[in-house]
Structure 1
Amino acid sequence: MKNMSLRQIADACGGQLYNAEDSLTKEATGVVMDSRLVEQDYIFIATVGERVDGHSFIQQVYEKGALAVICEKVPSEITGPYILVQNSFEALKAIAKWYRMQLDIKVIGITGSVGKTSTKEFISSVLAQKYNVLKTEGNYNNEVGMPLTILKLREEHELAVLEMGISDFGEMHRLSEIAKPDFCVITNIGQCHLENLGSRKGILKAKSEIFDFMNKQGHICLNGDDDMLATIEDVNGIKPVRFGLGIENTVYATDVKSKGLFGSTCIIHTDSSTFQAEIPLPGDHMILNALAATCVGRILQLSDEQIAAGIASVPSVSGRSNILRLNKITIIDDCYNANPVSMKAAIDLLKLAYTRKVAILGDMFELGKNEVNLHYEIGTYAALSGIDVLICVGSLSENMFQSAQNANSIKELLYFKTRDELMNELPKLLHNNDTILVKASHSMGFERIVTQLTELGQS
C-alpha cells in the first residue's frame, strides 16, 4: 500500500506507536477490522462492538502475520507493534482519508434515496469495459464500510465507484471528506430516513453534502426527472449533467420496450450520439440506472459500444430486485431495504409478471412521524396496482392491510403480525407458477422468507 508505513499510519490517525522499533518504515499490505481477513503484513483495527470485542483477537492476528494492530486498549500480550488510539472507528476514517490522498485515482461517489446499489453496479459494469475498477462490495456504504473499501484500493486501480449512504445530517459531509469524489452521482430524493432528516427538502440538503469536498474540476450527474434535484443548477461553478427519461435531459431514453421480468430495451441518446441498449434487469428504474452509467461513461470517454456492452452485462444483486426463477415459482428478492419510493417501484415490477402476482410486504422503518400514513399509502397503491395477492407483515404494515382492505379491489388480502407467523402458513398460500415479491426494511429479516420460498420453489 503506497505510503502506508507504520510511522505514516500512526501519524495519519494521531495514535501512539509502540513496540515497532524494527519496522517503522515497513508498509502494510492491507487494513481490515475482521480478524478472519488478516493476512501477512496486514493492519488489524480492533474495535469494541455490541457483541464482540476485537481486542480479544489481537494475539491471533499476530500469529497470522499481522504487521501491527490499532487498538484502544494496551494488548494483554504484546508480541508485535501496536498503535494506541482513543477511538478505533475514528482512526479508520483518518487512515482512509490519508490513503485516498496517496493515490492518483478518480472516485465516483453515488448517493440518493433509492437505487444507489443498482446504479453502482451499472456504472461499475460500464467503466470496467475500459478501466480497472474497484467498487463498493455489499452494503459497505457508511462511515465504516466506505473507508474499508477505500483501503482496498491499490495502485493498479484506475477508478473507484463508491456507494455513499447516510441517515442523518453531517454524515455525507464526513464521507465526502474521506472520498473526495471526482464525480458526484445522485439518483433521486425520496422518502427515507425521514425520522432524522424531516422532509424531502432535508434529504436533499443532507445528500448535497456530497459536494462539500468534491474535486473543483469534477463532474456532477443528476437524475433530471427528480423535482428536488432539478433545483440544483450550479455547484461552485460546476453545471450538472442530467440524465432521465425526459428528452430535456442531456442523456435520455426513447423507444423503451419492456420484456417483462427479463428486462427492457431502449434507445439511449447522448449529446452527440444514439445507440441501442439491452437492459437485463427489469423495471423503469433500471433504465435510469443505465442512463446514469451512460452519463459517467461518456465523460470518461467510453465509446457507445463499450457503454452498451457494460449495460448488457450488469449483474443482479441479492436482495435488490433480484429475480430468482425456480422450478415452481419466481421470486423477486427485494428484501434488503424499503421506503415508499422503492416499495412502489417493486410493486410496479411485480405487475410485469404474466402469472399470479403475490406481494409479501413488511414494515418500512425510519419514516418519522408520517410512518402510519406512508404505510397506508402503500396499501392503497398495492391494492389498485392489479396484483392478485397482498400479504402484509408487521405492526406498521397493519395500516397497509387496512388501506388495501378499504380499497376493496384485490383478490386476496392477508395480514400477519410477525414474519414467523407468515412462515408457518406460507406453504399453504402458494400456487405453482406464482411470481412473489418479498420486500421490507432490512431489520424485518425477510431474507429468511426468501430462503424458505427458495426451498419450496426447488422441491
Structure 2
Amino acid sequence: MSLPIQNIIPVIHAKWFGSDETCLIDNVSIDSRSLQNNNGTLFFALVGQHHDGHQYISELIATGVQHFVVSRVPEKLSDKANFLLVNNTLEALQQFAAYYRKQFDFPIIGITGSNGKTIVKEWLNFLLSPEYNIIRSPKSYNSQVGVPLSVIGINERHNLGIFEAGISLVGEMEKLSAIIQPTLGILTNIGSAHNEGFASEEEKISEKLKLFKDAEAVILRKNVKVEALLSPSQKTFTWNYNDASADVSISKKGASVLEITQKDHRFSVEIPFHDKASEENTITCLMVLLHFGYDQKTIQERIANLYPVEMRLQVKNGNNNCTIIDDSYSSDYQSLKIALDFLEQHKTHQKKTVILSDIFQSGFPVEELYAKVFRLLTHNKIDTVIGIGESIGTYLKDYPNFKSFATTHDFLSQFNSEHFSNETILIKGARSFQFEEIVVVLEEKTHETVLEINLNAISHNLNYYKSKLKPSTKMMVMVKAFGYGSGSFEIAKLLAHHKVDYLGVAFADEGIALRNAGITMPIIVMNPENTAFSAMVAYNLEPEIYSASVLKKFIVLAQQKNLSDYPIHLKLDTGMHRLGFEGKDLDELIGLLKNNNFVSVKSIFSHLSSSDVPEFRDFTLEQIQKFDSWSSLLIKELNIAPIRHILNTSGIYSFAEHQFDMVRLGIGLYGVGNDPEEMTHLENVGTLKTIILQIKEIAVGESVGYSRKFRATVPTRTATIPIGYADGIPRSWGNEKGYVTINHQKARIVGNICMDMLMIDVTNIDCREGDTVIVFGKSPRVTELADVVGTIAYEILTSISHRVKRVFYKE
C-alpha cells in the first residue's frame, strides 16, 4: 500500500486539519500498542462503549505517528499532526477498505455461515495456492473491524482473495459485503450461533445472504429454505447427499470415501477425516475446485492431503523458564504481523526470540517481502531471529543476531532446549516445515492433561461487564489464587493490554510474582500480612488497610523508610464481618489519618456478602447505604477524593446503579456468573481436557476401580483417562454422578476416582485410544460439576493442580 493522503480524504468524507497533504500512507492501524506503527501509518481512532482510540493520540505522536482519522480533534494537539475529521471512525475505516478493494480486479471468494468459515478458508488456501497468489483473512478476522483490516492487506501481486464474514446483528452484513465485494459466495453450515441477534432463523439467513448480492455464483448445500431467500436471479452451485436435484450429489462409501456425481461424471474421493463437520467442510472445498474447473486427478490428490487446521496462537510454558508462543502452522506476512503483536502483549521476558520459516503467499516480490519482514522484526525489537529455509537465510542474513538453518532437521540436530533460557520465543512456520517438532522439544514436559484458557473469551467477558458500566467507571480485576486457577501472569498481561485500572491479589507473594513477570500496573494486596509490608513497598504493591492496628504498623514502616503519600486502600465492614473498619471505628481511623503525609488514601471500599442472592436484596442495599454514608464521612473529615468501590461480579450484574467510581470483577471474568441469565452472556474460558489411555472390555459381574464400586450388569466398554483427584477432580464426582465428553457424547464416570486416573463408560461411543476427552468446558460446564458435588465453581477452578499444564490461546 502506498496512497497519497489527499486521495483518502474524499473517500471517508473527512474534513482536513493538517499541514502536509502530500504525504503517503503505507500502513493502517487501530492499535496504539502495536510496535509496527510508524510515520507512514494512518491511525483510525475507533470509539467503543469502553474504549476510545483518541486518548492514545498524544503517545502515538511521540512515537512518530503523524496521521489520524478522528471524530474529534484532541485539544492542544491540532498543530502536532495531520487529522482527518469524520463523524464515525469505524464507518470511515469501512469506507476506506471498500475504496481500497475497488482498486483491484481479481476473483474474491466470500465465505459466511454459522460454522466452518475459517476451516474452509484455510483449506481453500491450501488447495488453490499452487495456481494462485492468495490474500486471505488472517486467523478469524471476520468482524466489522476484522474484515476491513483483512481487505487492506491486498497488494498488486495477489490474484485471488478469500475472506470470511461473520455477523451477529441485523444490518452488519451489508457493510461487510460492500468491503469484500465477492465474485463467488460460499455458505457453510447454518447453526444456532448468534441466534439471539435475530428475530428468526429466516432473518439470520437472509442477513447472511446479503454478502452474495452481487456475486456471480453461490456455493451451498441444497436447502429449500435457504434457496427461497436468495434472489431469483442468483446463480447457485449446490450439493447434497443422495439428491439428484442438486448440481452435485454426494454418497458415502465406507467411513472415508465420497462418491461424487456431477451430471454424467462420477468419481470417488478419499477424505482424511471421519467427523461430520470436517466431511461437510471438505465437500464445500471440493465444490470450489469443481467450480474452478479442476480435473478429477488433481481434486483427488489435493483433498487427500487436507489436514487439521490449528487456528490458535497458543502460549505454553517452555523449558529453562522460557515462554513459548506456538504459531507453528502458518507463515504469511499478514499473520506474522498479528503474531508479533501477540508476542509483545504476552512476553514474560524482555528477551524476545523468533523462530521463523520461509514466508509464502505474501503477494510481494521476494526481496521486497523480506525487506518488510526485516523492518517488522526491527520495529518489534526482536533480539534473536532463527531462520529456517532457503530464502529467509539469504534475505535476513544481515539482521543482528540472526542464525540460519536450511531445514527444521538441521536446526533440531544443532539446537536443543538448553540453548534457550529466560526468554519469550515465537515459533512461526509454514506447515511444510513441521515446526510442531520444535515446539515439542522446547516446551515443558507435562502429562497429557491440560487446561486450555481462551483469551478471546476473557476479553469478551471483560467487555460484557464493562457494557453495564458508565464510561467513567474504573475497573479492578481480581487475579488472586493463580487467576482463579487459570494462570495469573498471562491473564494479567491481557488485562494490562485492555488497560484495566487495578489488579487485585490476596497476598503479597502473588503481587511480587506479577511484578517479576513484568506487570507494572497498580496492584492491590487484599490480605496484607504485617511481615510482608517491606516487600510490598519494595515491589510497589498497595495494601488494603482493614484495622487501626494494621494502619499503625504500616505508618511506622512508612516513617522508617521515609515514605511520602504511599497509596493505601481502606476496607469498611458493612455486613460481611470478615475484615474491615466498622462504623464505631471511624473516629479512630480519622484521627490516625488526619494530617498524616506518610500514606495517601487511594480508595475506600467494602465487600457485598450476598449480591448473588435475590432474597437478600434488602440486606445488600443496606450494605450499600452504609458504605455510602461511612465513606462520605471519611471523605469530608479527611478532605480527600478517593476512588469508591463496593460491587463485585454479581454486584455489577444486579446492582449496576450503585457502581460508584470503580467495580471489582472476579469470577465473572472467567466465565462463571451467579445467575442463569448472566451465564448466557458469558463465554467459556477454561477447558480441562485429557486423552484416553486405554480401552477395556468388562464382562458381566466384573468390577472397575477401588472397592469394586462399579460392577457390570451388562457387557461394558470402559476407557481410562489420566486425571484424578490429585489434579483437582473431586472424588465425590465418581460412581456415575459425573460425566465427561468424548466426540460430543456423554461418558459417565464409573467406579471411584483415583489419585491420577478415572474410568468412564464408553460402551455406546465410537472412540479409540488417544482420543480427546473434555472433563469440563462448554459441556459439561464447570458449574454443572460444582452442582453435582455440592460446591461452587470457584472451588473447582482453584483446585486444578499446578501439574496440569495451562495452555493459553487466542483465535
Query: TM-score higher than 0.5 here?
Result: yes
Distance 1:122 1:204, change over 3 A: same
| TM-score, with structure 2 as normaliser | 0.41
- The match for 1:422 is 796
Go from structure 1 to structure 2 and tell me whether the alpha carbon gap of 1:330 and 1:109 turns closer, same or farther (over 3 Å shift). Answer: farther
Partner of 1:223: 221
Q: CA contact under 8 A between 2:693 and 2:720: conserved in structure 1?
A: yes
Partner of 1:38: 37
User: Alpha-carbon deviation of 1:416?
Assistant: 7.4
| Match of residue 295 from structure 1 | 287
Q: AA paired with 2:286?
A: T
- Amino acid paired to 2:67: A
Match of 2:149 in 1: 148
Give the secondary structure class of the aligned counterpart of 1:285. Answer: helix
Q: Which has the larger radius of gyration?
A: 2
Task: Write the deviation string for residues 141-171 of structure 1: whole angstroms up to 9, x where unpaired.
Answer: 1111101111111111112211111112111
Look up the match of 1:28: 25
Native 8 Å contact 1:176 1:209 kept in 2:
yes
Partner of 1:171: 172
Shift of 1:180: 1.5
On the 8 A contact 1:170/1:209 being kept in 2, the answer is no
Q: Which amino acid aligns with 2:247?
A: T
Per the alignment, in what secondary structure is the counterpart of residue 25 of structure 2?
A: coil
Aligned to 1:433: none
1:241 counterpart = 2:237: yes
Where structure 1 has 5 or more consecutive residues not aligned to the other structure, the ranges are 259-263, 338-349, 361-377, 406-412, 431-447, 453-459
Matches within 5 A, 1:43-58: 43-49=42-48, 52-58=51-57
Aligned to 2:596: none
Identity of aligned residues (%): 23
Q: Note the C-alpha offset of 1:109.
A: 1.1
Moved more, 151-160 or 195-204: 195-204
Structure 1 residues 220-278: Cα deviation after superposition (integer angstroms, max 9, x where no partner): 00123x5643545x6342331113444534345445555xxxxx554555554635344
Give the alignment's TM-score, normalised by structure 1. 0.68
- Taking the aligned partners of 1:318 and 1:257, their CA distance within structure 2 comes to 29
Contact 1:392 1:414 in 2 (8 A): no
SS of the equivalent of 1:181 reads: coil
Query: Which residues of 2 match residues 300-379 of structure 1 at below 5 A?
Result: 300-308=292-300, 310-311=302-303, 312-318=305-311, 328-329=447-448, 356=719
- Contact 1:191-1:199 within 8 A present in 2 as well: no
Whole-Å separation in 2 of the counterparts to 1:352 and 1:269: 39
In the other structure, the counterpart of 1:202 is 203
Equivalent residues in 2 for 1:442-457, closer than 5 Å: 450-451=807-808
CA contact (8 A) 1:16 1:85 kept: yes
Higher relative contact order (CA 8 A, sep 6+): 1
Q: For the structure 1 residues 401 and 256, does the alpha-carbon distance in structure 2 shift closer, same or farther, using more than 3 Å as the test?
A: farther
1:337-368 alpha-carbon deviations (Å, 9 max, x no partner): 8xxxxxxxxxxxx999975488x9xxxxxxxx
How big is the shift at 1:67?
A: 5.7
Matched with 1:13 is: 12
Query: Residues of 2 paired with 1:313 and 1:39: CA distance?
Result: 39
8 Å CA contact 1:189, 1:228 repeated in 2 = no
Q: Conserved in 2, the CA contact under 8 Å of 1:100 and 1:179?
A: yes
Query: Contact 2:452 / 2:806 at 8 angstroms: preserved in 1?
Result: no
Superimposed CA distance per residue, residues 60-86 of structure 1 (whole angstroms, 9 cap, x where no aligned partner): 544555462212222443333221112
Offset at residue 291 of structure 1 (A): 1.3
Matched, 1:93 2:94: yes
Q: CA deviation at 1:194?
A: 2.2
**1:47: Cα distance to partner?**
2.0
Residue pairs, 1:240-279, within 5 angstroms: 240-248=236-244, 249-255=246-252, 258=255, 264=256, 266=258, 268-270=260-262, 272=265, 274-279=267-272
Q: Deviations over 1:181-206 (max 9, x none)?
A: 11111112222222221332232222
For residues 254 and 330 of structure 1, the distance between their equivalents in structure 2, rounded to whole angstroms, comes to: 38
The one-letter amino acid paired with 2:162 is: V
Deviation per CA, 1:280-327, whole angstroms, max 9, x where unpaired?
x5522112111111212222334445445554244512469x999997
Give yes or no for contact 1:39–1:65 (8 Å, CA) kept in 2: yes
Q: Secondary structure at the match of 1:161?
A: strand
Compared CA separation, residues 417 and 390, structure 1 to 2 (3 A):
farther
Instruction: Kindly provide the amino acid, as one letter, of the partner of residue 277 in structure 2.
Output: H
**Aligned in 2, Cα 1:95/1:310: closer, same or farther, shift over 3 Å?**
farther
Q: Quick one: which amino acid aligns to residue 53 of structure 2? A: G
Structure 2 runs not aligned, ≥5 long: 314-328, 330-435, 458-689, 696-718, 724-740, 748-761, 768-772
The Cα shift of 1:398 comes to 8.8
CA contact (8 A) 2:107 2:161 kept: yes
Task: Quickly say closer, same or farther: Cα 1:156–1:395, change in 2 above 3 A.
Answer: closer
**Structure 1 residues 64-73 or 81-90, which shifts more?**
64-73
Q: Is the 8 A contact 1:130 1:306 kept in 2?
A: no
Q: How many Å apart are 1:14 and its aligned residue?
A: 0.6
The alpha-carbon deviation at position 110 of structure 1 amounts to: 0.9
Q: Tell me, what secondary structure is at the counterpart of 2:168?
A: coil
Amino acid at match of 1:122: W
Change (3 A) 1:275 1:43: farther
Aligned to 1:364: none
What RMSD, in angstroms, separates the aligned Cα atoms of the two structures? 4.6
Q: Which moved more, 1:266-275 or 1:235-244?
A: 266-275
Aligned length: 385
Asked if the contact 2:6/2:21 (under 8 Å) is kept, the reply is no
Which amino acid letter does the alignment assign opposite residue 309 of structure 2? S
Query: In 2, distance between residues paired with 1:332 and 1:417?
Result: 18
Q: Does structure 1 conserve the Cα–Cα contact (< 8 Å) formed by 2:453 and 2:808?
A: no
Distance in 2 of aligned mates of 1:398 and 1:52:
31
Alignment deviations for residues 13-63 of structure 1 (CA, whole Å, 9 cap, x no partner): 11112224451xx44212121231324522111223455532243345445
